[in-house]
Each structure stands twice: as C-alpha cells, then as structure tokens.
Structure 1
Amino acid sequence: MTRFDLRRLAWLGYAVAILGAALFATKGIVIKLALAQDVDPLTTLTWRMIVAVPIFVMVGLFGYRRKRSERTDGAPPVLDWRSVLQTLGVGVLAYYVASFLDFTALEYISAQFDRLILLTYPFFVVLFGALFFRRAITPMMIAALLVSYLGIAVIFWRDFSIEGKHVLFGAALVFTASIIYAAYQIFAKPLIDRMGAQLFTSIAMSGAGPAVIAHFLLTHPLADLAVPISALPLMLAIGTVSTVLPAYCISAAIGLIGPERTAVIGNVSPVVTITLAVTVLGEAFTLYHAIGTTLVLLGVLLFTRKAKPKAPEVDVEP
C-alpha cells in the first residue's frame, strides 16, 4: 500500500470518527424533541431497545459464526457461560441503569449541559483504576479534572440561578450515569478482549433490552408504546441514528486510525450537541456556557493526551 493510500485511509478514518461522534451527539436532541411530543424518557429508551437490539444481535450472530468457523482444534470455546452472564450483567449496568438515568436527566437540564457532564466519564475510569488496580494518577490528570469541573461549575451556577433545584437533580442524575458508565468501561474491557466487540455488544444489549422492557411494562400500559405519529420518526432515530450507526462508525474509525485518535476526535460531540441544542431546541448559549464549555473541552483534551485511554472497539453510549 502506497503512502498516498495510507493517507487516504487516515482521512477516511478521521471523517468516520467525526461522523460517529456527531451522530452520538444527537441523542440528547432526539430525547428533548420526544419530551416536547409528550413521550417520556422510559418510553423513548424502550423504543431505542426495540429498534437497536435486533440489529446488534444479528451482527453478533454473524460474528459468532465467523469466530466458530475460524476456531482451530484445541482452541478455547468462543463463548462460555461465565463470560455470557458477566456480559449480560454489565450490559444491564450501562444500557439500562446508566441510560435510564441519563435519559431522565434531560427532563431537568439542557441537552448541552447533559453532554458536557457525560463527557467526563474517563475521569471516573482513571479514578476506579487508581482505587482498585493501583494505577498511577499524574498531576496533569488532576489538573485536567479540575479544569473540566470548573467549566461544569460555571454552567451549573448560571443554570441553577435561573432554574433552581431542577438543575441540581438533573445534574446529579447525569453524574451518577457517568460514574456507572465508567464502571462499565472497567468491567467491559476484559470481556471485549476475550470475545470481540461485536459479540460483546450484542450480548450486552440483549441483557439490557429485556430489563428496559420489563421496567416499562411494570410502570406503563403497553398502549403507551403507541406514540403519536409525529413522534415515531424520533423513536426510530434514537435506535438507528443515535445508537447503531455511530457505534459502527466508531468501530470503523478505530480500525482505521486507532483508539486514541478516535477518542480525542470524539470530543467534538459537545460542539455538535450545543449547535443542535441552540438551533433546533432554542436552548440558551450565554457567555457562561461558552466559558464552561471551553474549560470542559480543554480539560478533557489535556486528560486524553496524557492518559491516552484505549477505547473499546465499539462504544455505545448510555
């Protein structure tokens, strides 16, 4: 392969990574639009599972068959029950618990504030690594954390002064979702290494899907799934545009340019969310939001450059 071909593949990788980050950034916008159509967060989350899970399962089955066909005599089995049960568990943790908290938070805070808080989950990944695996935390990591949370504090102070306790509750929900998603990242890494990203994501989603649907059926009549016709495109979009498509874009980008570069490029997602929130939802973007967003992005960028986290091959957001 020539140098020109390598450069072309690299630029393709950057483009796909940006597309994946941008598509992930639409999640909050779609949820907000659904709320405006009187579709509550749990109903939207249930539709996400109804649409996305069959696609992930189908892809996972193809991956499983391919791995079985490539398996040599004497090699360990592609799957074992312990790994399957662990994957189902971490799937429920991320794609049910964290997702439900994140979706619900959007009833109380802006889409842009939600995205910025969720963006800080890598800090919790490093914190858990230090607490449970004795991994080192450098002064630069601490400085990056302080810069990011200073930015969040600036936006929180402005929004809290106007909207009051609702902002506090919503922010607490997203912070909890971020912590849970960080724990998921820790638990998911060895499982992804063992079975591959396609198979892992399929099994994890298969665990979360029934949990979400069970929650829905316990709290809603089945008829609530019959959303207004005007909201149906949003229900399809949350499962495809905001979940399935970006997951495979990120997977392709990692294959082309590597996990570190893909993770850094993923930091464009708040910019996309803010742009859509202001233009589509009519959310305010004041000087406080500009300062806070700049600080959060600066902190995350410093953190990812120094910590160089290895992102999983497929990273479906909560």
Structure 2
Amino acid sequence: MRGNELSLPERIADLRAMTERTPISPRTVGICCLLLGAVLFSCKGVIIKLAYGYEVSSISLLGLRMIFSLPLFLLIGYFRGGKKGQRAEMTGRDWLTIITLGVVGYYLASYTDFLGLQYLSASMERVILFTYPTLVLILQRLVFGTRIRPVQWGATLLCYLGIVVAFAGSDFGIGTNFLRGAALVFLSGLLYSTYVIGSGRLAPRIGNVRFTSLALVTAAIAVICHVSVSSEPVLGLPKMVYAYAVVMAIFCTVIPSYLVTEGIKRLGAGDAAIVGAIGPVATVLLEYYFLGEIMTVLQAAGAACIVAGVVIIGRSKG
C-alpha cells in the first residue's frame, strides 16, 4: 500500500474496532426509540383534528385507523415475531394479560382519547394525556411495590413544570365541554398507563415484536367489533378521511407502537413514561406548522424544561 492508503477489508476492520470502542448503550437506543415514537404518536392529535373537519365520528375514524393497521400488525407479527422453536412459552395468564392490555390499555384508551379530542385542542389533549408518567410510577408502586427513584421524581416534576410553563398563557375556554373532554383524556392516560406497565413486564420475556403484535391485534379486533355494532359508517366517507386514516395507521400507530415497546424494554416503564413527555412539545410544533398555531416564548421555555427532564433520565442509571 502507498502512504496511508488502506484496503477495503482493513477499513472495515478499523470501523468495526471504532464501533467496539464506543458502543451505543441500550439506554441510548431506548431513548431514541421513545423520542421518535412520542413524536409520531403526537402527530395523531393533529391528524384527528384535520379529519374532524370532514364531520367524521370518533368511532368511525378510530375504526378506520385500526382496520388499516390490522394487516400490518399481522404481517409484522408473523414475519418478525420469532421462530416457533426460539420463542418463549406463553402461559394462559400471559395470554389473558395481553388480551386485557390490548382491550383496556389500547382500545379503550384510544377511544376515550378520540372522544376527548372532540372538545379539546390537540395541544391541550397532549397536556392532559401526559399525566400518565406519574400515573405509571404511582401504579407500579401501589401494585408491584416498585421503588420510585429520586431522579424519576425530579425528572417528572421538571417535565410537568415545562408543560405548565408552555401552556401558561393559553386560553382553553374552560366550560362544560372542556371539562368533559379533559375527563375523557385523563381517563385515556390512566388506561394507557396499564399498557405501558404491562409492556415493561411482558415484552422483555416474550419479545418486543411478539408482544406488540399480539396486544394491538387484540385492540384492532375490539375496535372493529365496536364499529360493526355501531351505526357509524366506515364506507362512503370523503376521500381525505381515508387518506388521514392511512397516514395515522402507518405513522401514528404501527411504527411508534413498536418503537415505544422497544424503548420500554430497554429503559423500563417508569423512565420510558417520563421520556414520553416530549410529546406535548412535538404537538406544539406540529400545530404551529400544520394548523397555523402561534408558538410563544413561554412554549419555547417549557419545551426546554421538558427536554432537560428527558436528558436527566437519559443520563441516570436504570
């Protein structure tokens, strides 16, 4: 070789050595999965508000979302759920837990969230929904006796401070409809907390892809059953409603569901829920871009607090 020139095998060996010297930690990977998942989930509220402009009902829109999602969950679960001889055995209790989480922690959580968005802005929905990190910590403490680390409380309080600051100057038009919507979205957050906790306990043992596919296939079936017995249509709707539903199914349901479960597997339910607090900030940015909402200095300051809370969790020891 001339000078500093290296052959291709030598360059590959050098790159491999550099990667081994600076490995990416599981927590870093988990945080990246959770941040991307939270941003994609946050798009859901904006898309729902856009779809509601065509006078589609909440159950019809939720039904379309899960109808388009179901084939993808089945395909991913079949091809990526692990070979039969390599998968961990599942007990009857595991199956019952997954079915319960799919119905309660995803279907009912999604339905109450869709209902609440009829009365609230997308940003306000995110604010109320993201009470769930604290709910996750408290439920784990009450049910399983899981210790709440001081850094978790500190990061949670910092994230909530950011949320309060970000929306301090907002006019939410508090009234009957607001309170109804707030109650529905808070219930959604409580129900979703059970899914986060269950995912953190089951996914590491039976597999991330396998757990997510089984739970969300269950949720999709529950939603489709609901739509089939309701009087709300899923056919004959405006073309844009179907376009929004497809986008919501792929980018706001299927992809982030697997990302979040992978993140929970690597960080644990408590830390994962705190990192998810980035969601309200993402919603503010999305509303600014797609719905023409104005971003204020307070919102920027609140976003900085939330990002700081996420960084604290990222650098803490699990």
Alpha-carbon distance in structure 2 between the residues aligned to 1:213 and 1:17: 28
Alignment partner of 2:83: what SS? helix
User: Quick one: which of 75, 92, 98 aligns to 1:81?
Assistant: 92
AA aligned to 1:208 is A
AA aligned to 1:67 is K
User: Quick one: which of 48, 63, 67 aligns to 2:65?
Assistant: 48
| Alpha-carbon RMSD | 3.6
Matched, 1:4 2:18: yes
Matched, 1:240 2:250: yes
User: Quick one: which of 135, 140, 143 aligns to 2:146?
Assistant: 135
Alpha-carbon distance in structure 2 between the residues aligned to 1:61 and 1:272: 32
Superposed CA offset, 1:77-132 (max 9, x none): 73343322221111101221111111222122221222233334222111112222
Whether the 8 Å CA contact 1:113–1:155 is kept in 2: the answer is no
Gaps of 5+ in 1: 72-76, 309-318
* Equivalence for 1:95: 106
Alpha-carbon distance in structure 2 between the residues aligned to 1:166 and 1:291: 29
Whether the 8 Å CA contact 1:43–1:225 is kept in 2: the answer is no
CA displacement at 1:276 relative to structure 2: 1.2
Gaps of 5+ in 2: 1-12
Q: Measured at CA, do residues 282 and 190 of structure 1 come closer, stay the same or move farther in structure 2, by a change above 3 Å? A: same
* Equivalence for 1:316: none
* Equivalence for 2:134: 123
CA displacement at 1:214 relative to structure 2: 2.4
* Equivalence for 1:68: 84
AA aligned to 1:70 is Q
Alpha-carbon distance in structure 1 between the residues aligned to 2:310 and 2:223: 31
* Equivalence for 1:213: 224
Alignment partner of 1:226: what SS? coil
* Equivalence for 1:192: 203
Superposed CA offset, 1:213-257 (max 9, x none): 222233324x344320122110101110111123345567789xx
CA displacement at 1:259 relative to structure 2: 3.7
Larger radius of gyration: 2
Alpha-carbon distance in structure 2 between the residues aligned to 1:254 and 1:189: 6
The residue correspondences of 1:1-318 to structure 2 (distance < 5 A) are: 2-5=16-19, 10=24, 19-63=36-80, 66-70=82-86, 78-153=89-164, 158-159=169-170, 162-221=173-232, 223-249=233-259, 258-259=266-267, 266-287=276-297, 289-290=299-300, 292-295=302-305, 298=308, 302=312, 308=318
AA aligned to 2:130 is L
Q: Measured at CA, do residues 148 and 209 of structure 1 come closer, stay the same or move farther in structure 2, by a change above 3 Å? A: same
Whether the 8 Å CA contact 1:264–1:304 is kept in 2: the answer is no
Alpha-carbon distance in structure 1 between the residues aligned to 2:190 and 2:146: 18
CA displacement at 1:265 relative to structure 2: 6.4
Alpha-carbon distance in structure 2 between the residues aligned to 1:148 and 1:252: 22
Whether the 8 Å CA contact 1:120–1:300 is kept in 2: the answer is no
Alignment partner of 2:173: what SS? helix
Alignment partner of 1:162: what SS? coil
CA displacement at 1:210 relative to structure 2: 2.3
Sequence identity (%): 34
Q: Measured at CA, do residues 141 and 81 of structure 1 come closer, stay the same or move farther in structure 2, by a change above 3 Å? A: closer
Q: Measured at CA, do residues 252 and 147 of structure 1 come closer, stay the same or move farther in structure 2, by a change above 3 Å? A: closer
In the comparison of the two structures, how many residue pairs are matched?
A: 299
Whether the 8 Å CA contact 1:117–1:152 is kept in 2: the answer is no
Alignment partner of 1:38: what SS? coil
Q: Measured at CA, do residues 158 and 268 of structure 1 come closer, stay the same or move farther in structure 2, by a change above 3 Å? A: closer
Whether the 8 Å CA contact 1:125–1:183 is kept in 2: the answer is yes
Alignment partner of 1:78: what SS? coil
Alignment partner of 1:25: what SS? helix
Alignment partner of 2:237: what SS? coil
Alignment partner of 2:229: what SS? helix
TM-score, L = length of structure 1? 0.77
Alignment partner of 1:271: what SS? helix
